[in-house]
Amino acid sequence: MWYNVDMPKQITLQEAADLIPSWSSVFIGGFAHIRACMAFSRELVRQEKHDLHFVSSGPTVHSDMLAGGNVVSRMEIAYGGIETIGPGPNIRRRVEEGDLQIEDYTNFSMTMRLYGGAMGVPFMPIKSMLGSDLETKTTFRSKAEKLALVECPFTGELVCLVPSINPDFGVIQVQRVDTEGNVQIDDALTSDVDGLKASDVKIVLAEEIVSPSVIRRNPKNTAVPGLMVDYIVHAPWGAWPTAMYNFYDYDQEHIEYYAKQCKTEEGWDEYMKEWVTIGEVALMMKIADRMKALKARKGLGY
């Protein structure tokens, strides 16, 4: 057996969540209806983490769950809702009660802030956010920290500069990773790849861990080279109830049930007892029937 110091370490879901101390900043992947780090977020709730600084573009059910579990106290995001449903019920309640602060950006500006972080440059120029209240109003950042309006030194055109960002931890859930940490994603990359690359410690959760030969057969499909990745976790069905293209569809019925349930604090407590604190193994047993219905069909991928 040969040993490569660059090899990422394979750990369990519990160990991965345990790496993240309270008060740290995190990028946790997932966008709209796909690839949300649900299992990982449930584990953060179970481990009673608190005061995380959450960074993402358009996160979905997982960010709402983290708000419900009081895991996050600050968010820099573009979207705090669940598509087709509306505002995330827990996010909405926490903000309205003053327990959670959101610094509003846009999907593009957050993605560029992460991309800037990944490339090691201090800011990125963009042409949106100008003229709106996103430009003028802030919550926990000062206006000078949120963005800067400058004239281009070459053309004089007005541009908006957004500060790059390097979260302490980056976590994404993907289709496959190999033992060397090479990541392959089968559907649209959203901002997951930029978010992971921007983060200091990179954790990849995957539906399957494959041998490097599988990845190296299709190197064009590799979204993140393994030499950047620190930890890998085998987490099948880890995005449920959101979708993992080629593996399973989203569970809209459950997402709607979640949104309805979490409208009140009591409802969230009930949901948490029933679907979160029971642990992943018990949860998987509980949804075994649903899994059959959600399993991706050949030729469709959903």
Partner 1 sequence: MAICGARLIWDGAIVFAGTGLPVLSSVLAQNTKASNAKIIYEGGNIDTKNKDLPRSVSDPRLMLNCAAALDIRAALGEILQGGYVDIGFIGGAQIDRYGNVNSTVIGNYRHPKIRLPGSGGANDIASLAKNTFIISLHEKRKFVKCDYITSPGHLKGGKTRAKSGLRGNGPKYIITDLCIFDFEPRTKKARIKSLHPGVTKRMVLRAMRWRPIVPWKIPVTKAPTKQELQLLREKVDPKGVYLKE
Rule CB under 8 A: say whether 76 interacts with partner 1.
no
Tokens standing for 107?
């999907």
Tokens standing for 295?
């399993």
Rule CB under 8 A: say whether 226 interacts with partner 1.
no
Cα 19 from Cα 8, distance rounded (Å): 14
Residue among 187 and 230 whose Cβ is closer to partner 1: 187
Cα 239 from Cα 247, distance rounded (Å): 10
- Of residues 86 through 125, those in contact with partner 1 by CB under 8 A are 86-88, 91-92, 95-96, 98, 102, 104-109, 111-112, 115
Tokens standing for 293?
């219905």
Residue among 12 and 132 whose Cβ is closer to partner 1: 132
Rule CB under 8 A: say whether 264 interacts with partner 1.
no
Tell me which long-range contacts 139-144 makes (C-beta under 8 A, separation of at least 24): 139/101, 139/102, 139/103, 139/104, 140/74, 140/101, 140/103, 141/76, 141/103
Q: Are 223 and 177 in contact (CB under 8 A)?
A: no
At closest approach, how far in Å is the CB of 277 from partner 1? 26
Among the residue ranges 17-25, 152-160, 197-205, 279-287, the one whose residues contact partner 1 (CB under 8 A) = 152-160
Rule CB under 8 A: say whether 77 interacts with partner 1.
yes
Of 177, 138, 171, nearest in space to 59 by CA: 171
Rule CB under 8 A: say whether 205 interacts with partner 1.
no
Among the residue ranges 156-164, 166-174, 257-265, 271-279, the one whose residues contact partner 1 (CB under 8 A) = 156-164
Q: How far apart are the first and last CA of the chain?
A: 39
Give the interface with partner 1 as residue ranges (CB under 8 A).
31-34, 57-58, 77-81, 83-84, 86-88, 91-92, 95-96, 98, 102, 104-109, 111-112, 115, 126-134, 137, 139, 149, 157-160, 186-191, 193-194, 243, 245, 249-250, 252, 296, 300-302
